Amino acid sequence: MYRVLVDEETGLYNFQYLMERLQQEMDYVSRFRQELVFCLVEVAGLDKLSRDDAKDRRCKVAELLTDFFREYDIVARVDDTRFGIIIRSISYKNATKRAEVLIEEFDKHFPKFSSRVYIALVKASEEVLAKNVFDKANKALRAKLHRIGWG
């Protein structure tokens, strides 16, 4: 049976693949005591646009994220407004700095939407299950206390 790993609209990996890879990466980092951060980016308001405008904006966000993160990081589309990134071999401090730079990139490329961009970071190397990491990131996004939050 053929399994789809890529989102047709954006060309990014899909949510199912993201979660499978997150679990694999977490198993690896726990064995070899490596650093791993999961990043969940929400661009609020994309779901309120017309279908064509939302598709165009999601593709541009996908391009920005693909260009911004390293080639070996995993970038995926979660749903209409959220994107997940598995950032390998990065410390808490460096992940926070990268998130701040990413916010600046959104401000530069999407000034109309930039104030509605939220980033949640979770130190995945402290968890055992990918679902727990995703849930922590989602909870941090929902709080929307700051543009960058740690779950």
- pLDDT at position 37 is 92
Overall pTM > 0.75: yes
Integer CA distances (angstroms), 119 to 5, 16, 51, 66, 133, in order: 24, 20, 24, 16, 14
pLDDT digit of tens for each residue in the chain (151 aa)? 567 899 999 999 999 999 999 999 999 988 888 888 999 999 988 888 899 999 999 999 999 999 999 999 999 999 999 999 999 889 889 999 999 999 999 989 888 776 678 898 898 877 788 999 999 999 988 887 678 888 7
- Distance (Å, rounded) from C-alpha 7 to C-alpha 12? 5
Q: What are phi and psi of 110, to 5 degrees?
A: -135, 65
pLDDT at 56: 95
Tell me what pLDDT residue 25 has.
Answer: 92
CA distance 11 to 115: 25
Residue 114: per-residue pLDDT: 63
Nearest to 147 by CA among 42, 60, 59, 64: 42
